[in-house]
Amino acid sequence: MKRELILWSAVLSAPLVWAIAFGANLPIWEWCGPAHYVIWGAALAITAVAGFAAFAQWRKLGRGLPGEAGGAIPAERALAIGGVLLNAGSFVLMLAQTLVNALSGGCR
């Protein structure tokens, strides 16, 4: 049960954290303070931790690919690999958004 909770948290955290960070930055877009970077930095940190948690669970499951076998272990391996990939992609997306804010001056 604990492993499933960690895996589902890792998979669902990436889109949820991105949506919260994006939504939190919209109202303060015209304010030119460091709040943008604090929000995106926290989102990047949470996404990185969730990705590493999914990777750690995948390693505990034997580092194998899910395959066609049924059962809990292949399903959890697929969930772990999905969590790693989703968090890595979300991390790159959020990093790109942070860099765009930094390079464009962060203000309208």
Q: Per-residue pLDDT for 44 more than 70?
A: yes
* All structural domains of the chain with their residue ranges: 2-25+34-103
Q: How many Å apart are CA 61 and CA 98, to the nearest integer?
A: 34
46-96 pLDDT tens trace: 999 999 999 998 888 877 666 666 667 788 888 888 899 999 999 999 999
3-state secondary structure of 1: coil
Question: Are residues 47 and 14 in contact, defined by beta-carbon separation less than 8 angstroms?
Answer: yes
The whole-chain average pLDDT of the chain stands at 84
As a whole-number percent, the residues of the chain with pLDDT over 70 amount to 82
Q: Which amino acid is at 70?
A: G
Q: Per-residue pLDDT for 6 more than 90?
A: no
